[in-house]
Chain A
Amino acid sequence: MPRAVFPNRILPYALLAPQVAITLVFFYWPASQALYQSTLRQDPFGLKTRFVGLENFEAVLSDPSYLNAIETTLIFSLATAALAMALALLFASAAEKVIAGKGLYRTLMIWPYAVAPAVAGLLWLFMFNPTMGTFAYILRRSGIPWDPLLDGNQAMLLVIFAAAWKQISYNFLFFVAAMQSIPRSLIEAAAIDGARSTKRFWTIVFPLIAPTTFFLLVVNTVYAFFDTFGIIDAVTAGGPAKATETLVYKVYNDGFVNLDLGGSAAQSVILMAIVIALTAIQFRYVERKVHYG
């Protein structure tokens, strides 16, 4: 990278300051607060606070409902990220083949991204609500005993689809851009080289969009871990019987509903460690297989 030369010593720091300030205020400060709070225990009325060391972590990690939340999160995140990315990839490669109305198709594909998570959740809730949902009616008519309010697996399916649906637009946008940056002549050369459409996709297109896919893998993992709170809260509120209670939902529930602030803080510290570890693993092992043009 070329070395930038600045006219004085203060300017480079001044240019970095806004970004640093935002990170400090919105990440390091709350993160350190959480870290501090995770070593405290408060009475339910917030009158007395005492230092308990790692006791909160001990309590959290030996809590069977916490271990259940880890399992739920893994299933939910894996399924959501995989579904959101696979469908977005499918739609993006289909967008390449659209001849008339390409712009309209793309615009319609991007719209769901503009919908707020809670609203997206409500949409799915209404569509699949066992008493008034249109799709729930159709499902039951075709012989499927659909009741996500009682069946934990069905509830899980519903939040996975709702969360993936919300993220498909974002992934779609990136996949379309990545595919457009592949020179047409490469695809043509592969066609002359005897590769049919499916083979071309897996041997030429897919490897060339790998940097984008990797980026989306990281972003989608973080999305599924953190940003899906609104959808889960609106659709199932973690139920039935904690079947859809993910780690981030449990942080909220224990901290702000059950008012166990110390325990909740300990959970968010663990959650942060998990996501940092996941991202590090992705960079360490997956990125190696990525070819940057």
Chain B
Amino acid sequence: MAGIELKDVRKVYAGGVEAVKGVSLDVQDGHFVVLVGPSGCGKSTLLRMVAGLESITSGTIAIGGRTVNELEPAERDIAMVFQNYALYPHMTVRRNLEYGLRNRRIPSDEITRRVNEAAAILEIAPLLDRKPGQLSGGQRQRVAMGRAIVREPAAFLFDEPLSNLDAKLRVQMRAEIRSLQRRLGTTSLYVTHDQLEAMTLADQLVVLSAGHIEQAGSPMEIYERPATLFVATFIGSPAMNLLPIEPETASQLAGSSAVRDSLSVGTTIGIRPEHMRLVGDEGIQDDEIAADLVVTGVELVGAESYVYGVFGAQKAEIAVRVPGYRHFDGGTPIRAAAGATSLHRFDSKTGLRLDSPV
């Protein structure tokens, strides 16, 4: 068991491309930390640097208090689960699980014990004598997990392990990985581009963009108080509604004048679709502001629907969550309202969150 500590880690490729621009991160012992970001944000590179598969241009990486910059992957006491599972196709499942242990000259009765134990936990005991080619995607995923577990490493590294599975299996394996990690208590670093996967798995969520950390914190912290415009739109689906405040914007809005007066030009306000409601006969509350939209489409998700519309002369796109199913033809005018407390404010230029009271 051990924590992982990254200090000002940089990665510059031979061509001068800077993939990771000074990342510092402290993963506490036993925590499940998820690195999330769009493709090309450097999250996989960062994980591979921790694993020892990529060299570190500058900065230090420590696992369990020991600097590992110059150590071989094998010496870092980590296990990794790859996106394509990377099972050895010519070996049986049992040999796949044993491989890392045999290389470390662990006594054979100990190997048998660990393999059987892992097989029992993952329910792959009946598959031990098969080869990876004879397994389904979900089964391969379990074997890949098993190969990590038997090693009993200081940390697990996951590189988008669920992205090759179908949607249903993905949800199931997600829950299994989570409960397995809780049970074993092994420090885990997990890379994904799927924000939903990130939200549900993480103790701590790290949002990366263009090689640097945008925000790190618990999933709820990040969801409720996104630090930047990037985080605000990246976490949550559908994305947070953004409305850049222009000189005439305030006058086009309805509702509380105190709130409207507080909207200063050069800022952007954000409102999550679930914090908005459609205004009916009951009208607008005292602490709400409202906007008149022209409907562009409706998306039925099941228990709820999302009504999409555009606002005002600036044609800002706004999504509103409504319970059940509501139908609107395109072009229908509607009014949507949101409470003052659910507004997020950002500086339009820097993208940073503004925490001035409303």
Chain A contact-residue range equals: 20 to 34
Indicate if the CB atoms of B100 and A194 lie closer than 8 Å.
yes
Q: Which residues does A use to contact B, with CB under 8 Å?
A: 183, 185-186, 188-196, 199, 203-204, 207-208, 210, 291, 293
Indicate if the CB atoms of B86 and A183 lie closer than 8 Å.
yes
CA distance A192 to B104 in the complex (A): 11
B73 within 8 A of partner (CB):
yes
Find chain A residues with CB under 8 A from B80 CB.
Answer: 188-189, 192
- Known contacts A199-B103, A293-B133, A191 near B86 by CB under 8 Å: no
A-B contact pairs, 11 of them (CB 8 A): A185-B84, A188-B73, A191-B53, A192-B52, A192-B73, A192-B74, A192-B79, A196-B74, A199-B103, A208-B90, A210-B90
Indicate if the CB atoms of B51 and A192 lie closer than 8 Å.
yes
Indicate if the CB atoms of B73 and A186 lie closer than 8 Å.
no
Indicate if the CB atoms of A195 and B84 lie closer than 8 Å.
no
- Known contacts A188-B53, A189-B80, A195 near B74 by CB under 8 Å: yes
B230 within 8 A of partner (CB):
no
Indicate if the CB atoms of B89 and A293 lie closer than 8 Å.
yes
Find chain B residues with CB under 8 A from A188 CB.
Answer: 51, 53, 73, 80, 82, 86
Indicate if the CB atoms of A193 and B99 lie closer than 8 Å.
yes
Find chain B residues with CB under 8 A from A203 CB.
Answer: 99
Specify which of A194, A207, A293 is in contact with B103 (CB 8 Å cutoff).
A194
Find chain B residues with CB under 8 A from A191 CB.
Answer: 52-53, 72-74
Residue of A nearest to B132 (CB): A293
Residue of B nearest to A204 (CB): B88
Indicate if the CB atoms of A189 and B74 lie closer than 8 Å.
no
Q: From residue B216, how far is it (CB to closest CB) to chain A in Å?
A: 26
Q: From residue A210, how far is it (CB to closest CB) to chain B in Å?
A: 8
Residue of B nearest to A182 (CB): B89
- Known A185-B86, A188-B53, A196-B74; 17 more pairs at CB < 8 Å: A188-B51, A188-B73, A189-B88, A190-B88, A191-B72, A191-B74, A192-B52, A192-B53, A192-B78, A193-B103, A193-B147, A194-B103, A195-B99, A203-B99, A208-B89, A208-B90, A291-B89
Q: From residue A87, how far is it (CB to closest CB) to chain B in Å?
A: 25
Q: From residue A213, how far is it (CB to closest CB) to chain B in Å?
A: 13
Indicate if the CB atoms of A207 and B74 lie closer than 8 Å.
no
Query: What's the dominant secondary structure at chain A's contact region?
Result: helix
Find chain B residues with CB under 8 A from A189 CB.
Answer: 80, 82, 86, 88, 147
Q: From residue B176, how far is it (CB to closest CB) to chain A in Å?
A: 21
Find chain A residues with CB under 8 A from B82 CB.
Answer: 185, 188-189
Residue of B nearest to A203 (CB): B99
Residue of A nearest to B75 (CB): A194
Find chain B residues with CB under 8 A from A210 CB.
Answer: 90
Q: From residue A196, how far is it (CB to closest CB) to chain B in Å?
A: 8
Residue of B nearest to A186 (CB): B86
Q: From residue B70, how far is it (CB to closest CB) to chain A in Å?
A: 15
Residue of B nearest to A191 (CB): B73
- Known contacts A185-B84, A293-B133, A194 near B74 by CB under 8 Å: yes
Indicate if the CB atoms of B73 and A183 lie closer than 8 Å.
no
CA distance A204 to B100 in the complex (A): 12
Indicate if the CB atoms of B103 and A291 lie closer than 8 Å.
no
Specify which of B79, B90, B100 is in contact with A207 (CB 8 Å cutoff).
B90
Q: From residue B150, how far is it (CB to closest CB) to chain A in Å?
A: 10
Indicate if the CB atoms of A291 and B74 lie closer than 8 Å.
no
- Known contacts A192-B74, A193-B74, A194-B74, A186 near B88 by CB under 8 Å: yes
CA distance A190 to B151 in the complex (A): 13
Find chain A residues with CB under 8 A from B147 CB.
Answer: 189, 193
Q: From residue B87, how far is it (CB to closest CB) to chain A in Å?
A: 8
Interface centre among A183, A189, A190, A208 (most CB of B within 10 A): A189
Q: From residue A50, how far is it (CB to closest CB) to chain B in Å?
A: 59
Residue of B nearest to A208 (CB): B90
CA distance A189 to B146 in the complex (A): 13
Find chain B residues with CB under 8 A from A207 CB.
Answer: 90
Q: From residue B77, how far is it (CB to closest CB) to chain A in Å?
A: 10
